[in-house]
């Protein structure tokens, strides 16, 4: 059993269904004898680049202990689910926080404003 | 002319440099210290966008370690962190179009 974390981005129009999706993925992990240790909803954030014509996405992080087969099964489910823009699974480090950097990305806009003033 | 050249040459030769005084061609510079080695509590994590984006130019390129002063190990960890953040759209690949 290894500690993994999966971060996935949900289509903004399906953000209302995120809770449902989380429950589903939890069941997938538990179905593979894994245990979910943390669920963290980061919320709607700006994407750094457009994905499927969307500028925003709903980020959610799952941290869980599982075998490699559990990860395979979860990723298969992520691929099958509609409205998942992106996902990323990595081996997690217990020391790193699950929370998102709470500040949303406004840096590019600020930069643009400054540019205009000059 | 020839004599003047002879006089200038010893300075250019390496062995002479070693003998007397500081070597000529060494500009003043401060040794950069790897930030992550200096502060062991700092973690390199792709989720921490604010931290990782400090090591990316305005265009979204990674800054070389020769500029940031990171050691090889931490530069390597940063590289994977930046690439992970890019793939999940936390960091831009480029800002050319936006």
Could you give the ipTM of this predicted complex?
Answer: 0.78
Q: Which two structure tokens, joined as six digits, stand for A27?
A: 């069941």
Domains of chain B with bracketed CATH:
29-87 (4.10.640.10)
B84 contacts in chain A (CB < 8 Å): 88, 90
Rg (CA), chain B: 22
* pLDDT, tens only, A19-48: 999 999 999 999 999 999 999 998 899 999
The answer to pTM > 0.80 is: no
* pLDDT, tens only, B8-53: 444 444 554 455 666 666 677 777 788 999 988 888 999 988 889 9
A88 — contact with chain B (CB < 8 Å)?
A: yes
Q: Which three-class secondary structure state does DSSP give residue B95?
A: coil
A95 contacts in chain B (CB < 8 Å): 43
What residue of A is the nearest CA neighbor of B89? A48
Domains of chain A with bracketed CATH:
2-117 (3.30.70.60)
Count CB neighbours of A92 within 10 A: 21
Residue A47 CA to chain centroid, in angstroms? 12
Residue of A46, A49, A92 for testing the chain B interface, max B β-carbons within 10 Å: A49
């Amino acid at each position: 059993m290894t500690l993994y974390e999966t971060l996935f981005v949900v289509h903004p129009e399906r953000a209302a269904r995120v809770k449902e999706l989380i429950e589903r993925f939890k069941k997938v992990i538990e179905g593979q004898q894994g245990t979910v240790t943390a669920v963290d909803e980061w919320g709607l954030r700006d994407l750094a680049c457009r994905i499927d014509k969307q500028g925003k996405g709903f980020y959610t992080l799952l941290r869980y202990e599982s075998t490699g087969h559990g990860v395979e099964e979860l990723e298969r489910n992520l691929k099958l689910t509609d409205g998942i823009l992106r996902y990323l699974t990595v081996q997690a480090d217990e020391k790193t926080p699950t929370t998102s950097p709470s500040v949303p990305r406004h840096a590019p806009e600020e930069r643009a404003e400054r540019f205009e003033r000059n | 002319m020839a004599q003047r050249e002879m006089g200038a040459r010893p300075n250019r030769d390496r062995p002479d440099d070693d003998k007397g005084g500081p070597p000529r061609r060494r500009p003043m510079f401060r040794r950069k210290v790897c930030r992550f080695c200096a502060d062991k509590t700092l973690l390199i994590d792709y989720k921490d966008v604010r931290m990782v984006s400090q090591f990316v130019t305005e265009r979204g390129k990674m800054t070389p370690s020769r500029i940031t002063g990171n050691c090889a190990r931490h530069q390597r960890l940063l590289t994977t962190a930046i690439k992970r953040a890019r793939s999940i759209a936390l960091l831009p690949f480029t800002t050319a179009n936006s």
